[in-house]
């Protein structure tokens, strides 16, 4: 008898060597659900508020776990982007199509937000003091460099725009990763992923051990590539000869082992020089594989069927961009304390504030998508990957 590990549904337990489970082609609803889960975690973390004397101790680990939604976003991005790049390798306009489609998805909302907040509001007499920015170094935001400046200063200096650091990390990854996939075979790219994961985690540990500031450990691009490359690795591995089925034993074991190791760390709030950050990268990577494998059956199939998660996944980018801005913008008139004073309960105040702010965020993200973002996405059809007439099969070794 071997070590029992959960199979999460019949679709996983019936996989055999004779009948390998292939990675689904095209759109995978479960991944939209995972994106929705990630923004749900971040939303809970963002709007839950700080710890105070009246806050029950058991609440804080749950609140802080929500911040790991960013790690889940990173792993998912690495998985999706690498899959797109690998499938498009050898097609006409490989670089043009990728960069154009990413630009249409990311830049319009990012830059309209900066234009309104940093230029538009001051023009109509509304300054940026409500953002709580510690200085005027906003120029770095325009070139996706705010995380670099934050790392150098060791400060969360952009207030209501602090959360843009993660968008900077992803953009840096998007700039370089197409070159790696284009230049390397599948197995070589997988080795690059492993080397990068080790370098990212190792340099982050060394930075902190040598007395480096904590902000850089959270936001500097090199220190956060382990999650992105973990997602990239599973995307490449799942496209190998054994397909997705060959990865399932690893995914089950990693999910259980990392989950058991992380549970006490989450409960205790232990940082351990950010070692849990890399462990979460592996945990979420295995979670994504298991979710894709059980997309139609099994416990994790709800990810692709939950209308709430699918809805949140669709509008997750706008929700992420607007959350912190709403939090800072309304701080003078509406906070969790506003509800706490009426109800006399810290818990009710937190939950009520989370609900109201979440609804506001969802509404703003919905409006943004339909009135603005999807207008840009309508141009994506001009940049579809097209294979040459003598199409070649992507090398799987």
Q: What is the pLDDT of residues 344-365, one digit of tens each?
A: 887 788 889 999 999 999 999 9
- Got the DSSP string for 23-91? PPPS--HHHHHHHHHHHHHHHHHHHS----TTS-TTHHHHHHHGGGHHHHHHHHHHHHHHHHHHHHTTS
- For the chain, domain boundaries: 31-326+363-383
Q: Output DSSP code: residue 299.
A: G
pLDDT of res. 325: 95
What is the Cα–Cα distance from 384 to 389, expressed in whole angstroms?
15
Place 6 in a pLDDT band, splitting at 50, 70 and 90.
Answer: very low
Place 78 in a pLDDT band, splitting at 50, 70 and 90.
Answer: very high
Q: Across residues 32-41, what is the average pLDDT? A: 97
Place 133 in a pLDDT band, splitting at 50, 70 and 90.
Answer: confident
Place 9 in a pLDDT band, splitting at 50, 70 and 90.
Answer: very low
pLDDT of res. 209: 94
Q: Which of 10-19, 81-90, 229-238, 348-357 has the lowest mean pLDDT?
A: 10-19
Residues 272 and 265: beta-carbon distance below 8 Å: yes
pLDDT exceeds cutoff 80 at 183:
yes
Place 314 in a pLDDT band, splitting at 50, 70 and 90.
Answer: very high
Q: Across residues 379-392, what is the average pLDDT? A: 70
Place 8 in a pLDDT band, splitting at 50, 70 and 90.
Answer: very low
Residue 386 three-state SS: strand
Q: Which of 8-22, 39-53, 176-190 has the lowest mean pLDDT?
A: 8-22
Q: Across residues 113-122, what is the average pLDDT? A: 93
Select from 120, 153, 147 the least CA-distant residue to 134: 153
pLDDT of res. 54: 61
Residue 213 three-state SS: coil
Residue 92 three-state SS: strand
Select from 278, 171, 162, 295 the least CA-distant residue to 226: 278
Place 7 in a pLDDT band, splitting at 50, 70 and 90.
Answer: very low
Give CA angle at 104 (98, 107), nearest 5°.
110
Provide, rounded to the nearest whole percent, the portion of the chain with pLDDT above 90: 70
- Burial environment of residue 54 by CB neighbours within 10 A (0 to 12, 13 to 18, 19 or more): exposed
Predicted TM-score of the model (pTM):
0.91
pLDDT exceeds cutoff 60 at 11:
no
Q: Across residues 205-221, what is the average pLDDT? A: 96
Backbone φ, ψ for residue 12 (5° rounding) = -90, -40
pLDDT of res. 393: 38
């Amino acid at each position: 008898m071997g070590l029992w590990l959960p199979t999460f549904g019949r679709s996983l337990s019936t996989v055999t060597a004779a009948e390998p489970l292939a990675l689904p082609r095209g759109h995978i609803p479960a991944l939209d659900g995972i994106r929705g889960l990630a923004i749900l975690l971040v939303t809970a973390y963002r709007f839950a508020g700080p710890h105070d004397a009246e806050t029950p101790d058991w609440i804080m680990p749950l609140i802080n776990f929500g911040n790991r939604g960013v790690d889940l976003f990173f792993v998912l991005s690495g998985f999706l982007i690498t899959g797109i790049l690998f499938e498009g390798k050898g097609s006409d306009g490989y670089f043009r199509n990728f960069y154009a489609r990413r630009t249409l998805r990311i830049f319009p909302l990012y830059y309209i937000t900066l234009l309104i907040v940093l230029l538009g509001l001051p023009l109509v007499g509304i300054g940026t003091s409500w953002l709580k920015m510690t200085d005027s170094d906003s120029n770095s935001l325009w070139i996706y460099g705010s995380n670099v400046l934050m790392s150098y200063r060791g400060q969360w200096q952009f207030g209501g725009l602090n959360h843009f650091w993660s968008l900077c990390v992803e953009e840096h990854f998007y700039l370089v990763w197409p070159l790696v996939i284009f230049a390397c075979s599948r197995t070589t790219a997988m080795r690059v992923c492993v080397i990068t994961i080790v370098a990212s985690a190792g340099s982050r540990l060394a930075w902190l051990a040598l007395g480096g500031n904590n902000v850089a450990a959270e936001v500097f691009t090199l220190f956060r590539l382990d999650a992105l490359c973990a997602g990239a690795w599973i995307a490449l591995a799942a496209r190998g000869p054994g397909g997705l089925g060959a990865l399932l034993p690893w995914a089950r074991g990693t999910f259980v082992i990392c989950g058991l190791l992380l549970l006490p760390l989450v409960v205790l709030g232990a940082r351990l020089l950010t070692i849990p950050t890399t462990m979460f990268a592996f945990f979420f990577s295995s979670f994504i594989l298991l979710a894709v494998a059980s997309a139609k059956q099994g416990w994790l199939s709800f990810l692709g069927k939950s209308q709430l998660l699918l809805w949140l996944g669709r509008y997750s980018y706008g929700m992420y961009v607007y959350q912190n801005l709403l939090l800072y913008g309304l701080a003078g008139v509406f906070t969790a304390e506003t509800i706490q004073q009426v109800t006399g309960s810290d818990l009710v105040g937190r939950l009520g504030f989370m609900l109201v702010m979440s609804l506001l965020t969802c509404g703003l993200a919905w409006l943004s998508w339909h009135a603005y973002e999807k207008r840009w996405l309508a141009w994506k059809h001009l940049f579809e990957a097209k294979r040459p007439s003598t199409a070649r099969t992507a090398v799987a070794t």
